[in-house]
């Protein structure tokens, strides 16, 4: 059966090539060498220059003995060097580990060690935390200092300057695509609700496909101007470093999410697209009216996870910003579902429109499977908009797996589907809507906060007997951590004491904003009833 | 080296799926079930209905014993059934062999036999030729009669009616993606100017990637309305059956290329995109002014191969039709290069703009390699716009190979590149421009003469309707150019007039030494048969 089509028709160098997003850069530089590729402060670079710098970075890494399968970490905000790392590192055959710049030294140390980083690009804003992080390492990575004039700091973590480093590389470096499209391109650590962070491994095939899928879903067209409001360390900027390059667009860099600055850049560079957590949109709304009035061309915003409330959607749309709602996780290269819009929904009243827009929607064209099903049996739930089940995904934009953690990988892929841990319903039209999280993760300003991590710190406080942390809804941040604490008999502590203690032991954004003292509600078997606490936190 | 990223991170059902365009149909039907999918005469079908019919076709084929690796041929114009075949046949695991409806019975018989077709869908317009073609076959395929009300013929080639056939199939048929993305999806015979036609085999991976690449190159966005002016039997309609479905657009079918009808459909259905040879554009220009005036919205046209002359481009653009020029061959799934436009070229005067637009351009984002090189050594030519070389391609949208013809496949892929047989120059900006077919080039006194260049001049002569130039053996020069010319009705020109005109516009050695007037011999697809003219020239 099928014999004639399988005979003498094999893969050859002529008709098979590994899928990789790296080729998009070569094409952009070849076809539109003069087109603006990167804007950052006063820096302007076209695609030829950007390609040359990426090749120099790749070449310099190789010359430093870093190559196939080695990890190169980056502690960088959204600067041109961070974009260059997304190409230069894999062009060297290496794997990019973009670190969350808000993390503390201990967590970073863990990641550098676990990921076996051979080199680390450091922006001067983070010299202190990186010095501390690497101090305890047996084999510290090669530190490369990135001196961003937009920061203007004297505090270098290393004497090896990025510009000097890449100057030692060949701008004509003859990079090789990966031998196999299954080869790793990036490593991204999840915050991890329990235990240590897990290292999510991406491959070239998935990065390529999700980059293209973004472009399809968002109908981006040629030469978009993209503002980097979304951190590139989040799922590699949802693959947009590769998407924008595939579209031969322009990357407008941004160190910090500052609403007035964002509006300024949107106007100045005629930005067409940006992504971000709802908090970014919120920020724009709170900008002075004068700055808001600068928007005089249509802008597209993609936002993820919890969609903003109707009020925010309406106000943002009034500013001329159209919102596309997507959903994803670190394990799936960023967004892989979209609330695909139907023209007729434009006629709905704002409240209803916002309710529809809040759905996580349907699969991206390049995610092959999406279902809401029983977490144990994987039996799909009815499309009734009421029955809750776990969201499952399968396809080429699901991670390679967790680094050095086959048990976690097997668990995540049990039954041939990726278990998202998110609980949702499926509406009669097939659109998925998240209702709750299996895990109790808190999302604050777009950052995941593990409640267990915060609880661990609380338990270390000498006066604390019991503690539980849940999300408290917050207009600005989406959610903030709220702690419920029972003190030990005869011990005393104020709310401020507890918060200060947590800030000493955690990244500040993870510290509770609110502490409530008293008994904790429990089930008959002694488990703390978090859903009950969440209800209480809502009322506070 | 690289060990940690290759351990415990294997392909599983959760994170790996074969690439196939079939999933685009499932998604279109799931997300936009009510959106118009197909328009044909009075027939209107939405995506849910179209998906159901494709599943019925697949199921019915399976129930007839046709499955994995079997060939299903189609002798159909651009009707809904032809579109359904592009999904239903591969959903059954089978391979679609779309036949050129202009072919004669002998050639079709050869194809049916060589491709081992198990079934054949026949439009009634071709009942006669098909009856003749299958009469001589030892194992004739199962004939399925497609009765298009737009034709309204009583002449059925078979008693088995398409509608009755698919009515026996299950609209909920649980189709399977291919086991391997390398599995064949289509078989397309080249016209082959000499010898037997060669069967070009496409796989699911390539069809998927070129479908997506079309959408990127053309910035198609959501819900395009696509008019089928391009035959779906040409490289599977350049993969547009899959592209338009991926974009959840609307397919507007069309049996015949009739200018007034085309303009009517464009207006009625607000068509946004269509493809076709330059002759299609020419036809529109020759339509009555009244019909041309119907165009009151922007329309995109993609045209391939020889770009139309400046006059045509200017006139078409004046009608509100923007032209994108692409290039490809049957062996590469249709178009794989594009004259990617630069905004600043809009400022050029028409003549210059047309000259730029005539270039075949640069690689599609999903074709990995494109070069102009020495046909023997594969050494790239300099980017000087003058040195001729052969166009070579490599990548995932290059065919699987020629069916049952490993010798031809090996030859076509020699050196790890697909040999196109087209001669071109590369301009300093990297854009490729075809100068001739390798076998058509004339070598006179050691100088290369591009027949296309000479033909371009001939076409500029007001009396010339059609022209073709071939080599005529010459004792002194080796070869000299010989022109075959058809004059416009009512126009006159002598051999000397034509030669003089050419010498005014060309280097003298490039001007024809001999001009022959009369009809030009053509293939069934309308290509001028140069081998036939070469034979004639030898006898002169």
Closest CA to A328 of A369, A364, A293: A364
- Domain B440-539 coded CATH 3.40.50.620: no
Closest CA relative to residue B142, chosen from B73, B195, B51: B73
Which residues in chain A are contacts of B409 at CB distance < 8 A? 8-9
Q: Do A394 and B13 touch (CB under 8 A)?
A: yes
| Residue numbers in A near B7 (CB within 8 A) | 404
**Are A5 and B69 inside 8 Å of each other by CB?**
yes
Chain A CB contacts of B369 under 8 Å are 17
> Is pLDDT above 80 for B485?
yes
Residues ≥6 apart with Cβ < 8 Å to B516 = B482, B483, B484, B485, B536, B540
Do the Cβ atoms of B221 and A219 come within 8 Å? yes
Q: What is the DSSP string of B289-351?
A: HHHHTT--S-EEEEEESSPPPHHHHHHHHHTTEEEEEEEEEGGGTEEEEE----GGGGGS-HH
Q: Among B11, B212, B395, whose Cβ lies nearest the Cβ of A182?
A: B11
H or E segment and range at residue B210? helix B204-217
- Calculate the CA A270 to chain-centre distance: 25
Smallest CA–CA distance, residue A506 to chain B, in Å, is 30
pLDDT of residue B445: 80
- How high is the pLDDT of residue A439? 64
The mean pLDDT value for B90-117 works out to 95
Q: Is the predicted pLDDT of residue B355 greater than 60, yes or no? A: yes
Selecting from B2, B16, B362 the residue whose C-beta is nearest the C-beta of A31 gives B362
* pLDDT digit string, tens, across residues B240-257: 999 999 999 999 999 999
DSSP string covering B239-302, please? THHHHHHHTT-EEE-BSS--HHHHHHHHHHHT--EEEE-HHHHHHHHTS-HHHHTT--S-EEEE
Contacts of B187 in chain A (CB under 8 A): 5
List, as one string, the DSSP characters of A8-38: S----TTT-----THHHHHHHHHH-TTSEEE
| pLDDT tens by residue, B145-187 | 999 999 999 999 999 999 999 999 999 999 999 999 999 999 9
Q: Is the pLDDT of residue B192 over 60?
A: no
Residue of A nearest to B224 (CA): A219
Q: Which two tokens stand for residue A423?
A: 């609980």
> Under a CB-based contact definition with an 8 Å cutoff, are residues A184 and B5 in contact?
yes
The average pLDDT across A390-408 equals: 97
**C-alpha distance from B13 to closest chain A C-alpha (Å):** 5
Chain A and chain B share a number of CB contacts under 8 A equal to: 189
CA distance B245 to chain A (A): 11
pLDDT at A523: 64
Which CATH number is correct for B42-206, 3.40.50.510, 3.40.50.980, 3.30.2130.30, 2.160.10.10? 3.40.50.980
**Nearest chain A residue to B71, by CA:** A2
**What would the pLDDT profile of B410-469 be if each residue is shown by its tens digit?**
999 999 999 999 999 999 999 999 988 778 888 888 777 888 889 989 988 999 988 999
CA dihedral in degrees (B84, B88, B90, B94; nearest 10)?
-110
Q: Binning pLDDT at 50, 70 and 90, where does residue A1 land?
A: very low
Q: Do B406 and A8 touch (CB under 8 A)?
A: yes
Residue of A nearest to B116 (CA): A4
Q: Which one has a higher pLDDT value, B251 or B474? A: B251
Cα nearest neighbour of B6 on chain A: A183
Greater confidence, B95 or A305?
A: B95
User: How much of chain A, in percent, has pLDDT values that exceed 70?
Assistant: 96
Section A473-495 average pLDDT: 92
**End-to-end distance of chain A based on CA atoms, in angstroms?**
68
Q: What is the mean pLDDT of chain B?
A: 93
**Pairwise CB contact (< 8 Å): A394 & B17:** yes
| Secondary structure of residue A50 in the 3-state scheme | helix
Chain B residues touching A329 at Cβ < 8 A = none
> What is the predicted pLDDT for the residue at B525?
65
Residues B333/B399, Cβ–Cβ less than 8 Å: yes
Does the distance separating the beta carbons of A5 and B201 come in below 8 Å?
A: yes
Contacts of A222 in chain B (CB under 8 A): 219
Pick from A278, A267, A272: nearest CA to A220: A272
Is residue B103 within 8 Å of B231, Cβ to Cβ?
A: no
Q: Which residues of A touch B8 (CB under 8 A)?
A: 401, 404-406, 409
Mean of the pLDDT values across residues A166-190?
97
| Stronger pLDDT, A273 or A458, i.e. the higher one | A273
CA distances (Å), origin A14, targets B363, B390, B400, B410, B529:
15, 15, 9, 10, 29
CATH number for the domain whose boundaries are A442-539: 3.30.300.30
Query: What is the topology classification, in CATH, of domain A22-224+235-247?
Result: Rossmann fold (3.40.50)
Cite the beta strand spans of A29-70 per DSSP E. 36-40, 43-46
Lowest mean pLDDT among A390-394, A488-492, B377-381: A488-492
Check CB contact under 8 Å for A398 and B201.
no
The token pair at A289 is: 């009216």
| B254-289 tens-digit pLDDT | 999 999 999 999 999 999 999 988 878 888 988 999
pLDDT for res B67: 96
- Angstroms from B497 CA to nearest CA on chain A: 42
- Confidence class for position A71, pLDDT limits 50, 70, 90: very high
Chain A residues with CB under 8 Å of B399 CB are: 15
Give domain limits for chain A: 22-224+235-247, 442-539
Stretch (H or E) spanning A215: helix A204-217
Say if residue A121's pLDDT is above 60. Answer: yes
Chain B residues whose CB is inside 8 A of the A14 CB are 393-394, 398, 412-413, 416-418
Taking contacts as CB-CB distances below 8 angstroms, the residues of chain B near A95 are 5
Closest partner CB to A363 (pick from B27, B32, B393): B27
Contact between B70 and A212 using a beta-carbon 8 Å cutoff: no
The closest alpha carbon to B118, from B60, B159, B86, B70, belongs to: B70
* Average pLDDT of span A372-385: 95
Which residue does chain B place closest to A32, by CA atoms? B342
The most distant pair of C-alpha atoms in chain A lies apart, rounded to whole Å, by: 84
| Mean pLDDT, all residues of chain A | 93
Using DSSP's 3-state secondary structure scheme, residue B162 falls into helix
Q: Mutual orientation of helices B451-460 and B495-505 as an angle, nearest 10°?
A: 110
Candidate from A95, A247, A399 with C-beta closest to B15: A399
- pLDDT recorded at residue B1: 44
- Name the closest residue on chain B to residue A397, using Cα atoms: B15
Query: Does pLDDT of A524 surpass 60?
Result: no
Judged by CB atoms closer than 8 Å, whether chains meet at B3 and A69 is answered as: yes
Nearest CA in chain B to A23: B368
What confidence score (pLDDT) does residue A444 get?
87
Nearest to B243 by CA among B335, B171, B330: B335
Q: pLDDT category, B312, cuts 50, 70, 90?
A: confident
Average of pLDDT values for A180-197? 85
Q: A69 near B5, Cβ under 8 Å?
A: yes
Q: B396: which chain A residues are within 8 Å (Cβ-Cβ)?
A: 15-17, 19
d(CA B484, CA A59): 56
Q: Using CB atoms, which residue from B369, B404, B430 is nearest to A4?
A: B404
**A396 contacts B16? CB cut-off 8 A:** yes
B48 pLDDT exceeds 90? Answer: yes
Q: Which chain B residues touch A219 with a CB distance below 8 Å? A: 219-222
Nearest CA in chain A to B70: A2
pLDDT(A193) > 80: no
pLDDT tens digits for A36-58? 999 999 999 999 999 999 999 99
Contacts of B87 (CB under 8 A, 6+ apart): B22, B25, B54, B57, B58, B241, B245
Least Cα separation, residue B205 to chain A (angstroms): 10
């Amino acid at each position: 059966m099928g014999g004639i089509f399988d005979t003498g028709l094999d893969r050859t160098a002529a008709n098979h090539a590994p899928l990789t997003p790296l080729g998009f850069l070569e094409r952009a530089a070849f076809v539109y060498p003069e087109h603006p590729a990167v804007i950052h402060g006063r820096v302007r670079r076209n695609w030829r220059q950007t390609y040359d710098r990426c090749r120099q970075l790749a070449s310099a890494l190789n010359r430093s003995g870093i190559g196939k399968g080695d990890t190169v970490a980056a502690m960088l905000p959204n600067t041109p060097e961070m974009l260059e790392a997304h190409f230069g590192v894999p062009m060297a055959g290496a794997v990019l580990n973009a670190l969350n710049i808000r993390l503390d030294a201990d967590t970073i140390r863990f990641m550098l060690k676990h990921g076996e980083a051979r080199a680390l690009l450091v922006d001067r804003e983070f010299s202190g935390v990186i010095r501390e992080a690497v101090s305890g390492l047996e084999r510290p990575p090669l530190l490369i200092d990135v001196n961003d004039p937009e920061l203007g700091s004297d505090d270098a973590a290393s004497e090896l300057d990025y510009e000097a480093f890449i100057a030692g590389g060949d701008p004509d470096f003859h990079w090789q695509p990966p031998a196999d499209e299954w080869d790793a391109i990036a490593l991204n650590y999840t915050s991890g609700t329990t235990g240590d962070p897990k290292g999510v491994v991406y491959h070239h095939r998935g990065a390529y496909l999700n980059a293209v899928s973004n472009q399809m879903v968002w109908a981006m067209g040629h030469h978009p101007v993209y503002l980097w409001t979304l951190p590139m360390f989040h799922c590699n900027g949802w693959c947009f470093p590769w998407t924008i390059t595939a579209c031969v667009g322009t990357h407008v860099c941004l160190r910090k999410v500052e609403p007035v600055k964002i509006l300024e850049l949107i106007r100045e560079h005629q930005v067409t697209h940006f992504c971000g957590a709802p908090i970014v949109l919120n920020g724009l709304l709170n900008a002075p009216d004068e700055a808001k009035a600068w928007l005089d061309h249509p802008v597209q915003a993609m936002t993820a996870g919890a969609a903003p409330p109707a009020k925010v959607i309406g106000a943002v749309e009034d500013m001329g910003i159209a919102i596309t709602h997507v959903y994803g996780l670190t394990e799936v290269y960023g967004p892989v579902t979209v609330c695909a819009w139907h023209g007729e929904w434009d006629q709905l009243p704002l409240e209803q429109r916002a309710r529809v827009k809040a759905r996580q929607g349907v699969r991206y064209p390049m995610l092959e499977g999406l279902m809401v099903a029983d977490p144990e049996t994987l039996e799909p739930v009815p499309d009734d908009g009421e029955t809750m089940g776990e969201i499952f995904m399968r396809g080429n934009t699901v991670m390679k797996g967790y680094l050095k953690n086959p048990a976690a990988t097997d668990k995540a892929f049990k039954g041939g589907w990726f278990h998202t841990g998110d609980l949702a319903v499926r509406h009669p039209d097939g659109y998925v809507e998240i209702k709750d999280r299996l895990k109790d993760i808190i999302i604050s300003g777009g950052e995941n906060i593990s409640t267990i991590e915060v609880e661990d710190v609380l338990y270390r406080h000498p006066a604390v007997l019991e503690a539980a942390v849940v999300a408290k809804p917050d207009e600005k941040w989406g959610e903030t951590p709220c702690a419920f604490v029972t003190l030990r008999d005869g011990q005393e502590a104020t709310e401020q004491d507890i918060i200060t203690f947590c800030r000493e032991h955690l990244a500040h954004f993870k510290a509770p904003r609110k502490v409530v003292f008293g008994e904790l509600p429990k089930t008959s078997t002694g488990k703390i009833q978090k859903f009950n606490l969440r209800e209480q936190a809502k009322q506070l």
